[in-house]
Amino acid sequence: MGKQVSQNSKTFFLFDMTTGKKKLAYGDDIDDAYAILEMRLTKEEMDLIIKDKFTKIPQKDLQKVVSMLG
């Protein structure tokens, strides 16, 4: 079957993109967050994401970064 979903709260990450924008992702850790993006986005969309350039952000700060999202 599929991957078991953790009952813990997820961590949010902002990945840098080649466009200068950011892509919001969530997961148990950075690899989990990237894997979730791979499930949700097309290959072309994933090609814009810089995997090793990201910022971990607390959920309470999500509203502060909305203008940066692409």
Convert the pLDDT of each residue in 23-34 to its tens digit. Answer: 999 999 999 999
**69 near 22, Cβ under 8 Å?**
yes
Residue 5 lies in a domain: no
**21 near 70, Cβ under 8 Å?**
yes
3-state secondary structure of 69: strand
Q: Summarize pLDDT for 34-59 with one digit per residue, the tens.
A: 999 999 999 999 999 999 999 999 88
Residue 23 lies in a domain: yes
User: Domain of 26?
Assistant: 11-59
Q: Is the pLDDT of residue 2 over 80?
A: no
Residue 52 lies in a domain: yes
The number of folded domains in the chain is 1
Residue 3 lies in a domain: no
